[in-house]
Chain A
Amino acid sequence: MLLSGWRARIAWPLLRLLLTVVIILGVFGVVLWALGKDPLKAYRDTFRLNILNPRGLSEVVVRMAPLLLTALGVAIPFRAGLINVGAEGQFMMGALLGTWAALNLPGLPAGLHLSLVILAGMLGGAAWAAIPGLLRALGWVNETITTLLLNYLAPLVVGYFVFGPWRAPELAMYPQTPELPPSARFPTLFGTRLHLGFFLGLFFLLGYAYLISRSRWGLELRAVGGNPEAARRLGLPVERWLVLAMVIGGALAGLAGIAEVAAIHGRLKMAISPGYGFMGFLVNWLAFANPFGILLMAFLIAFIASSGFTLQITQRLPYAAVNVLMALILFTVLAKPLGKGVKG
């Protein structure tokens, strides 16, 4: 680098960020324009409805809850050198097992019931993540491909229960479970939909930030991720850390799943996730597993997820259009504009 001082530390990265944003908005604008939409109006609407409008802004923050949790679910295995692309499936399984606890443990005191529901949700995600974790730790199958495949299996398991044994009889048109009892619902704040899941997300983010950099556990986890062979020579239980990292990650993604059911939808149904697991992967990738970055990027992606619904209503675009926007973000970040193509 020829630049030094404040220019290298502040001006250059800032210019890069600005250029990145301009490229992304420009290319997506061309896509919108090609589809016969007015990009400027679309951008104005999304900004007005999701940032300037207090109600819209609170919904963006509500969407941060699942994203913080799924991003952590990707970040913890990432620090152990694992690529967990299965947060989507872990999310669904957490929703499934949490719903089971909510519907099948009646007569418990409210606080106890809610705690059990949360634990069951975490267990569901953890168990689903344990499969690829174990297969990887045993050295049998790479975790990337198994987590991806399990993403397609989890909705089928949920579908079996939602269309079958758990289906609410009174709602013939919409396959979904009966409503969760009040003792299993997440409390919300200030009359908005801001719920316990968001604060649990912040809590776990702080815990992650502290443990990963300040504790022996974090050091061992990062040692396993940095150089497994060296970690093994040092006598660290590498295999155990691999499984543990996956299981903890899966538990957090599962918590995100049950939070969406117990706080937002009130019932388990097929359409509980607009891709929160994949978005969590994106959040972690953009933040590079940095805790503060995760908070920032979770807000950004939550804004984009909300914008997807705005575009769906105001521009009649399919919701999947946000995937194009997210792809452009990742493309641009990976292309490192103005940067030399260095290892990243």
Chain B
Amino acid sequence: MSWLLSWISGAILYAAPILFPTLGEVVEQRTGMVNLGLEGLMLLGASLSFAVSFVTRNAWLGVLAAGGAGLLANLIYAWLVVHRRAHQLAAGLALMFFGIGMSALIGKPYVGQMAAVLPKYPLFGTQSLFFRYDPLVYVAFVLAPLLWFVLFCTRFGLKLRAVGENPSVAYAAGVSPALVRYIGAALAGVLAAVGGAHLSVGITGTWSEGMTAGRGFIAIALVIFSRWNPLRAIVGALVFGGAVVFQLQLQAMGVGVSAFIMDMIPYVLTVLVLLLWGRGVRYVAPASLGRVYFGAE
């Protein structure tokens, strides 16, 4: 029973750092841009927030710095894609390289150190051993329905989705595709970096090179699973969080299976999820996704 409780409790905790980048990518892809650079943004957020938290002894300043850096870094991507009409996948991978390299440079002095972490607040009562989370976990789970509301129940959300479906028609209707895409990219940059920050100053309290371990790419898979819907993204994030915690628990129990095999579980699960739910998404995906928009001239 307590095993089950700790599994559910842990699944929610580990769902948060993947939910942030997934939600950001949902919004960004709804504007018509695929961003493969999430992994780089997450690493950037993880290392910068850790460094700032270590120096200032304030984890919140770390999260703030991560969000700012993620925003700026993703605006580079958006500028390349929107203004220079660059290939989206290549621009995203350039961002990935950038984040991997910058995070290693920023984080090098802090490998093996411990920094201030975010405070934890219990979900039910004060006695409970489980379900104690830092505020970012609550933020992630509140953000998902909020974004769903913005995307599907507001005028701005309609404009945003219109740009993703057909930028020319949106332009004709008086919406600026460039502006909408910059807004989407800015939000995605902040969220991906905050997701990385949550990993370093929210969960582990440490920094190591490449610590996000492909979560940026798993988030992109979860966007496909979510069918570009923030509410379904919660389900995907919980499944991934559950897999991570399941594997951690197995290792803690000392099951006689190689740690390498168990580390494979989340990746194999992600590929399987793509296989089972990835088919036929062409008809759900934003129609202009990945295309270069040449403007209305």
With a cutoff of 8 Å between Cβ atoms, the chain B residues found around residue A320 in the complex are 100-101, 103-105, 209
> Is the CB of A159 closer than 8 A to any CB of chain B?
yes
Q: Out of A152, A323, A324, which one reaches B217, CB within 8 Å?
A: A152
| Chain A stretch 326-344: residues in CB contact (< 8 A) with chain B | 326-328, 330-331, 334-336, 341-344
Query: Could you tell me the distance between the alpha carbons of A283 and B290 in the complex, rounded to whole angstroms?
Result: 22
Stretch at the interface among A56-64, A137-145, A177-185, A194-202: A137-145
B210-223 interface bits toward A, Cβ cutoff 8 Å, 1 = contact, 0 = none: 00011001101100
B155 interface contact, C-beta 8 A: no
Report how far A102 CA is from B36 CA in the complex, Å.
37
Taken together as a complex, chains A and B put the C-alpha atoms of A145 and B271 apart, in Å, by: 9
Give the distance to chain A from B237, nearest Cβ to Cβ, in Å.
Answer: 16
The yes or no answer to A42 lying at the interface (CB within 8 A) is: no
A331 near B94 (CB under 8 angstroms)?
yes
A31 touches B213 (CB 8 A): no
Interface string of A156-187 (1 = CB under 8 A from B): 11011001100000000000000000000000
- Cα A3 to Cα B267 in complex, Å, equals 52
When the two chains form their complex, are residues A318 and B274 in contact, meaning their CB atoms are under 8 A apart? Answer: no
Chain A: which residue is nearest B218 at the CB level?
Answer: A149
Q: In the bound complex, what is the Cα–Cα distance between A151 and B271 (angstroms)? A: 12
Interface size of A in residues (CB-CB distance below 8 Å): 49
Give Cα A285 to B271, complex, Å.
Answer: 26
Question: Is A281 an interface residue when CB atoms closer than 8 A count as contact?
Answer: yes
Structural contact, A330 and B278, CB atoms closer than 8 A: no
A325 to B97, CA, bound (A): 9
CA distance A230 to B267 in the complex (A): 36
**B231 proximity list for chain A (CB < 8 A):** none
Is B258's CB under 8 angstroms from A278's CB? Answer: no
Given A334-B94, A335-B86; A149-B104 close (CB under 8 Å) = no
The answer to whether A262 has its CB under 8 Å from any CB of chain B is no
**Is B275's beta carbon under 8 Å from chain A?**
yes
Chain A binding surface SS class: helix
What chain A residues lie within 8 Å of B101 (beta carbons)?
A: 320-327
Q: What residues of B have a CB within 8 angstroms of the CB of A35 in the complex?
A: 105
Contact (Cβ within 8 A) A334 B258: no
Contacts of A342 in B (CB 8 A): 85
Interface residue? A85 (CB, 8 A)? yes
Q: Determine which residue in B36, B93, B261, B264 has the highest number of CB atoms from chain A within 10 A of its CB, and name it.
A: B93
Question: Is A83 located at the chain interface by the 8 A CB criterion?
Answer: yes
- Chain B residue with the shortest CB-CB distance to A279: B97
| A-side contacts of B90, CB under 8 Å | 285, 330, 334
Q: How far is the CB of B87 from chain A (nearest CB, A)?
A: 7
Q: A334-B91, A341-B85 are in contact. List 14 more A-B contacts (CB 8 A).
A: A135-B275, A142-B224, A142-B278, A152-B214, A163-B258, A164-B260, A317-B105, A321-B101, A323-B104, A325-B101, A334-B94, A335-B79, A341-B84, A341-B86
13 A–B pairs (Cβ distance < 8 Å), ordered by A: A139-B279, A140-B278, A153-B268, A160-B258, A163-B258, A321-B101, A323-B101, A324-B101, A331-B98, A334-B87, A335-B86, A336-B84, A341-B84
Pairs A-B, 6 closest by C-beta atoms:
A323-B101, A320-B104, A324-B101, A327-B98, A330-B94, A327-B97
